[in-house]
Amino acid sequence: MPISFAIWAALLNNFVVEVSNFSGVEIGWLQTVREIPGFLAVGVILILFWFREQNLAILALIALGTATAATGFFPSFSGLLITTIIGSFGFHYFETVNQSLQLQWIPKENAPWIIGLLIASGSGASLLAYSVVAFGWQYFDFSFKGVYFAAGLTTIFIALACYIFFPVFENSVKQNIKLEVKAKYWLYYLLQFFAGARRQIFVVFAAFMMVEKFHLHVHELTALFLANYLLNIIFAPLMGKVVQFFGERISLAVEYIGLSFVFLAYAGIYFWSWGVEVAIALFIIDHLFFALSIAMKTYFQKIADPEDIAPQAAVAFTINHIAAVFLPALLGYLWIIYPSMVFQVAATLAVLSFMASILIPRHPAPGRETILFVMGK
C-alpha cells in the first residue's frame, strides 16, 4: 500500500501545481472527493458477506495500484477526480480491513509494540519509494507519468503475489457482519471524528503550503517525506513501547497537546513570516506525534467485544471521514483569503481531542470504556 499511496501523495502537490495548474480551491475539492470512499467505509461490511477480509485486502490493493498507475495519464481536473476516487476506494477499504485484522490477530499485551513495527515496515516501503523519486527526479529526469505508472504496477504485482503465495489465515472469533453504532463506543467514535478532521487539514494544506508558499521542488518535498519515514522506522516501535508503558490516556493526551502547539506554530508562519526551516521542523514534529496514534487502536482493542472488531472498524473509519468529506473544500476557500485561520481550526480540534482523551480510563476494558462508567456502558 505505501508504495502506491506514498508516491501518489509525494508527487501530488507538485503535479497539480506544475501540470494541472490547481489553486487551493481545486486541491480542496480533489481531497474532498478522495475522502468520500472513506466516508463509505461501512460498505466493507456488506462486501464481507461475499469475501473474506484477507481477500478483500488484496482486491483493494489492486484497485489502488491501478488508479495510481493511471494518474499521470489524466492530468485534467475531471481525470484526476476519477483516478483519485478509484484509488481512494482501494486505499480506504484496504486500511479498514488492515486495521480490523491487526486487532484480531495481534495479542493485546503486545499490540502497541507490534503495531509500531507494522508502521515502521510501511515507512520502510515508503522510504524506498521516496528515495527512488528523490534521486531519480534530480539526476535521471524522471517524469510524473513514469513514476506513477511504475508505482501502481509494483503494487498490483505484490498484491497478486500475496494472493498466490500467502496461506489463508483463520480468525479465532467469527465477526458480527452487521452495521451497528453502539453507544458504549461513543468516546472512540468522538476521537475518530476529531482525528479525521485534524488529519485532513495537515495532509491537504501543510504539504500544499510547502509548494505554494516556499516553492519546494519535487525532489525537495520528497526528501522531506524521506526524513519523516526514516524517523518513523526508528520511532514508531519506540512509541509503541511508550503506549505500552504509559497507557492510552497519557499517550493520546501528550499527542494532542503537542499537535495543538504545532498547528499554532503553522499559523504563526503567516503572522511572523517564519522561513522554510521552521515549516520543515514543524512538518517533521507533526509526523513524530502521529506515531502516538497507535494508542487509538489499542484503546479500541481493549474495550471492544471480539466479534465487534471488523464491523466497528468500518463504522469508525466512516466516522473518521465525516469531516473529511466537506472540510478540505470548505477550508480551500478560506485558504485563499486567510491561510493561517486553517491551521487555527486544526489547533482547536487538537484541544478538543485532548479534552476527550482525558475521559479514557487508566485501564480500558469492556464495561470500562470511559471514566464516565454510566455513560460508557
Q: How far apart are CA 310 and CA 326, in angstroms?
A: 26
DSSP state letter for 366: T
Q: 201-229: string of b/e by CB count within 10 Å (b at 16+)?
A: bbbbbbbbbbbbeeebebbbbbbbbbbbb
Stretches where the chain sits below pLDDT 50 are 374-377
pLDDT of residue 134: 74
pLDDT in tens, 318-353: 888 887 677 777 887 888 888 889 999 999 999 999
Instruction: Tell me the DSSP string of 15-75.
Output: HHHHTS---HHHHHHHHHHHHHHHHTTTHHHHHTTTS-HHHHHHHHHHHHHHHHHHHTT--
pLDDT of residue 375: 45
pLDDT of residue 373: 57
Other Cβ atoms within 10 Å of 162 Cβ, number: 13
Report the percent of the chain where pLDDT is more than 90: 36
Q: How far apart are CA 81 and CA 85, in angstroms?
A: 6
pLDDT of residue 376: 41
- Decide: pTM greater than 0.85: no
Dihedrals phi, psi of 365, to nearest 5 degrees: -165, 165
Report the percent of the chain where pLDDT is more than 70: 98
2-166+176-376 CATH, one of 3.40.50.620, 1.20.1250.20, 1.10.8.60, 3.30.470.20: 1.20.1250.20
Q: How far apart are CA 222 and CA 134, in angstroms?
A: 6
pLDDT of residue 263: 92
Q: In terms of Cα–Cα distance, which of 50, 29, 35, 175 is closest to 100?
A: 175
For the chain, domain boundaries: 2-166+176-376
pLDDT in tens, 228-246: 888 888 888 999 899 999 9
pLDDT of residue 139: 79
pLDDT of residue 287: 82
Average pLDDT of the chain, as a whole number: 86
